[in-house]
Structure 1
Amino acid sequence: MLKNLYKNNNIIPTIFFIVVFVVIGFYFFIDKDRGENCIEIITDARDPKTGEIKEFSNLCDIPKGWDVLETDREQFERNNQSWTRYRNDDLGVRFEYRLDPDGYILIDSRSEWVNENKDVVESLHLFNKKEYKELLESDIPREYPPSISVLIFKNAKNYSVKEWIEKEKMISNIEFAVSEIEEIDFLGSPAVKYKISGLYENEILVVLNNGLIYYIDGAYLQEDSQIRKDFVEMLNYFSLY
């Protein structure tokens, strides 16, 4: 067989160049139509190097090398806007947020807590898509834009919600409170709410439910900021179960 191969080596270069031409042409075609063939669907993907999970609204936006995760995230229309619903039955939490127009992207930063707090079971942040894209594209070090955050912690020491914010001051930031700490009922569960002031203004809601602490934070620059309005609206579609 080797003899036959070398015997016909005069046609090998021709075949080789034909194959290369076809392959290059195929990838050129795929790349050319990449924008047209991209599927607009909410998809989660994980960076295998850091464990970071991000949500992408377009399959073509997922970086090469990232692992695409299965998701049953549903999309629906509300008031002529595109919305989606996050749901985690293991943690008993569900909330909804706007995708378009001027919508949000959901970022999972749980991996960043690994060495800081072992009680963290989830760390979710909603950023305005446009502002988050500008952050990623910026070459100048800058602060993260204001976000809506949902952090979930194990309540390993069975604290009341008031005790938890007192014991976990590094998270609750109650030392920066600019309002009274008000004890309330949220969806049938004990909770506290208060405001803090720092880089941004933050409205904080901390809820105790089924042995977990839900720390819900809405950050904004001004009272009339769109993100504050969206935070208030999101709480109307928030569920714990």
Structure 2
Amino acid sequence: MVFSSDLVKSKCLRVDGKRIVNSVFMVLLIVGAIADKPTVSFAATTQDVLTLDKSTFKPVSQNQAIYRSDRLRLQFNYSLPDFVVEDKTFSSGNNVNSPLLAIDIWTKNHAQKIRAGDYAGGTEYPANVHINVYNNPRKLTLQQWVKQSNQFSITRDFKPAKIARQTGIKFQSSGLYENEHVVFVNPRDSRIIVVTLSKTGYGNNDAIYRRAYQQIVNSFVFLNK
């Protein structure tokens, strides 16, 4: 009977041992499942965020266009839905009053009217934003260049201005329209760049063109290569 009792105890131990092993195995499975589950969840969440960022990302230049002149090594941004850029290039010369490049920025409405011939027959074009680039063979300072130029009349309110990482000058002038100018030098070739906002003093166009003027001044850069 003692032998039988020991045998029973031994069997019980084996059974208990199996239960213990099984219990430990189950605990390990549960811990492993718990440990694995967050990893999968985090990976999926991270991928969702990246996909969302990519699909909702809108580049700053989505509605912007870049005007670039490889010949004169300059560029600026303007609003593509609102404005049209027209340019004319001229042969190089030493006449300081003859531009190498003349750029006009028009509202789409004004551009359509110009192309339709509404201003033909000597009618003055509307006030707008324009950019002219001039040779500066004598390498005059900005103040000297403005003083000798015939492009401005009744100038006033001269102040320093920062544009394209250069120190220029801004001032106002009066003529057919009231004008705001920013004048600065290309450090590579000493050419003079003039950005002008012309204003009528009435209607909504002054405010519209001022947006273009400000954007050009803020985005204007010289190209190194």
Question: Same fold by TM (over 0.5)?
Answer: yes
Task: Say if 1:197 and 1:78 are closer, same or farther in 2 by CA, change over 3 A.
Answer: farther
- Aligned mates of 2:108, 2:137 — CA distance in 1: 35
Structure 2 residue 175 is the aligned partner of structure 1 residue 198:
yes
Q: Compare the two structures and name the one with the higher helix fraction.
A: 2
Per-residue deviation, residues 66-113 of structure 1 (Å, max 9, x unmatched): xxxxxxxxxx9648x62210112432311011121xx22211233599
Give the residue type in structure 2 aligned to 1:165. Answer: V
Larger Rg: 2
User: Root-mean-square deviation (CA), in Å?
Assistant: 3.0
What is residue 106 of structure 1 aligned with on the other side? 85
Structure 2: gaps (5+ residues): 1-57
Aligned ranges 1:41-190 → 2 under 5 Å: 78=60, 82-100=63-81, 103-111=82-90, 120-137=99-116, 138=118, 141-168=122-149, 170-171=150-151, 173=152, 175-177=153-155, 179-190=156-167
Matched residue of 2:80: which SS?
A: strand
> Contact 1:104/1:127 (CA < 8 Å) preserved in 2?
yes
Matched residue of 1:225: which SS?
A: helix
> Contact 2:84/2:106 (CA < 8 Å) preserved in 1?
yes
The alignment-based identity, stated in percent, is 19
Higher RCO by CA contacts (8 Å cutoff, separation 6 or greater): 2
Give the residue type in structure 2 aligned to 1:240. Answer: F
What is residue 216 of structure 1 aligned with on the other side? 195
- Aligned mates of 1:129, 1:112 — CA distance in 2: 29
Matched residue of 1:231: which SS?
A: helix
- Aligned mates of 1:112, 1:198 — CA distance in 2: 27
Structure 2 residue 210 is the aligned partner of structure 1 residue 228:
yes
Q: Shift of the alpha carbon at 1:144?
A: 0.8
> Contact 1:132/1:145 (CA < 8 Å) preserved in 2?
no
Give the residue type in structure 1 aligned to 2:110. Answer: E
Give the residue type in structure 1 aligned to 2:79. Answer: R
> Contact 1:206/1:216 (CA < 8 Å) preserved in 2?
yes
